[in-house]
Copies of this chain bind each other. A is one copy, B any other.
Amino acid sequence: MRDNIKLIKVREAIHADNDAMADRLREELKASRTCLINLMSSPGAGKTSLLLQTTAALKEKLRMAVIEADIDSTVDAELIAASGIEAIQLQTGGFCHLDVPMVRQGLDSLDIGKLDLIFIENVGNLVCPAEFDTGAALNVMILSVPEGDDKPLKYPLMFSKCDVLIVNKIDYLETPLTDFNLAAMEKRVRKINGTIQIFPVSCRTGQGIGDWTDWLYRRISVQ
């Protein structure tokens, strides 16, 4: 570290008794053979776009629904519902993440026994959602190319907690607008998460979506 930087550690322990509830929910969903996926990212990285692409690719094979978390609007749920997929809108009223009681409120409005796959679109935030287990079987995050390849250094908890990393907006890599280095980013991620699955995609062009949905379908089929 350079001499002219002073380093001050501001520590705050974050406690959650949410974990036992999450384990219980996971068991219930496993018993009904319903896979719950918690999708997280920064604002604007492409969560809703990924859900639209993913549900379009799998809708002949799987029965799906989406629980949308949004602070105030219903923009995302409108888009999902317009595509023919059942959507529940949770308005968090300013809350920065979802926990198990909030997810349960969403699930209570769904007929879980008739669903193979439920997506939670978490609040757009790389910090708080990483701290709270939602009861999901799979944690999936999106990093979009314009955000930069240094994000694993800055939000290590999120990258360490996820089973899958979708790298979205890879069509930006072909322009001079960004110096994002995919190999360098992957190296940074794998240093903190040795088992993470990484799928580079463009939700705009559809590139790479098949690799992700094939993997997801196989993963769900063997549950």
Contact = CB atoms under 8 A, between A and B. Distances in A.
A30 to B, nearest CB: 24
Contacts of A31: none
A156 interface: yes
A144 interface: yes
Given A44-B146, A126-B43, A128-B96, A154 B75 contact: yes
A2 B74 CA distance: 10
Nearest to A127: B96
Interface stretch (A18-26, A56-64, A81-89, A206-214): A81-89
A102 interface: yes
Contact of A7 (B74, B131, B148, B204): B74
Interface residues of A, number: 64
A156 to B, nearest CB: 6
A105 interface: yes
Interface of A: 1-2, 4-12, 14, 42-44, 70-75, 77-78, 81-82, 86-96, 102, 105-106, 109, 123-128, 131, 144, 146-148, 150-151, 153-157, 169, 171-172, 175, 177, 204
